[in-house]
Structure 1
Amino acid sequence: MNTPLPLLPSSVDPSPHRHRPPAARAFSLVETVIVVALVSMLFALAAPYTISAIQAASLSSAGDTLMQKISLAQQKATSENRPVGLDFFYYNKDEIKGCHAIQLISYDPATNIATPLEPAVYWSEGRAVLVEGVLSPMFTTNVSAINTGPATADPFKKLGATFYRVVFYPNGSTSLKVPLRTAYLTLVATKNYKQDMDKPPPNYYTVQIDPVTGRGHSYRP
Structure 2
Amino acid sequence: MTLRTQRPRPGFTLIEILVVVSILAVLAVASAPYIAGIAAAARLRTAADTVQNRLLEAQSLAILFNTDAELRLYEVEDLLGGRPTLRKLRILTLRPPEYETPATTTTDAFEPVGAMTSLDLEIEISADAVHSSIIDLGFQDSTADIYGRYIALRFHSDGSPALQPAKPWFLTLHEKDAHLRDKKLQNFVTLQIDPATGRLRTFQP
After TM superposition, is the score higher than 0.5? yes
**Which of 171, 181, 186 is equivalent to 1:202?**
186
Aligned to 2:55: 70
| Greater displacement, 201-210 / 51-60 | 201-210
The match for 1:130 is: 125
Q: Which residue of 1 aligns with 2:116?
A: 120
| 1:35-90 CA distance string (max 9 Å, x none) | 21111101001111000001011111111221111111111211221222101011
In structure 1, runs of 5+ residues without a counterpart are: 1-12
Gaps of 5+ in 2: none
Q: Assess, with a 3 A threshold, how the Cα gap between structure 1 residues 163 and 42 changes in structure 2: closer, same or farther.
A: same
1:127-180 superposed Cα distances (whole Å, 9 cap, x missing partner): 211111221121225x4xxx71157555x3xxxx41111121112233334743
Count of residue pairs brought into register by the alignment: 193
Q: Secondary structure at the match of 1:135?
A: coil
User: What is the CA RMSD across the aligned residues, in angstroms?
Assistant: 2.6
Question: Residue 44 of structure 1 aligns to a residue in which SS?
Answer: helix
TM-score when scaled to structure 2?
Answer: 0.80
* Alignment-derived partner of residue 180 in structure 1: 167
SS at match of 1:149: coil
Please give the secondary structure, in 2, of the residue aligned with 1:138.
Answer: helix
Give the structure-1-normalised TM-score.
0.75
The structure with the largest alpha-carbon Rg is 1
Partner of 2:35, secondary structure, is helix
Say whether residues 1:148 and 2:146 are aligned partners. no
- Counterpart of 1:218 (choices 188, 202, 205) is 202
Query: Aligned letter for 2:85?
Result: G
Change (3 A) 1:148 1:177: farther
Give 2:69's aligned residue.
84
What residue identity is the alignment partner of 1:167? R
The corresponding residue for 1:192 is 178
SS at the partner of 2:141?
Answer: strand
**8 Å CA contact retained: 2:62, 2:69:** yes
2:44–2:188: 8 Å Cα contact kept in structure 1?
Answer: yes
How far has the Cα of 1:30 moved from its partner?
2.5
Q: Are residues 82 and 120 of structure 1, via their aligned partners in 2, closer, same or farther at CA, if it must alter by over 3 Å?
A: same
* Partner residue of 1:14 out of 2, 27, 33: 2
| Structure 1 contact 97–131 (Cα < 8 Å) conserved | no
Q: Percent identity of the aligned residues?
A: 23
Over 3 Å counting, the alpha-carbon distance change for 1:48 and 1:96 in structure 2 is farther
Deviation of residue 119 (structure 1)?
A: 1.6
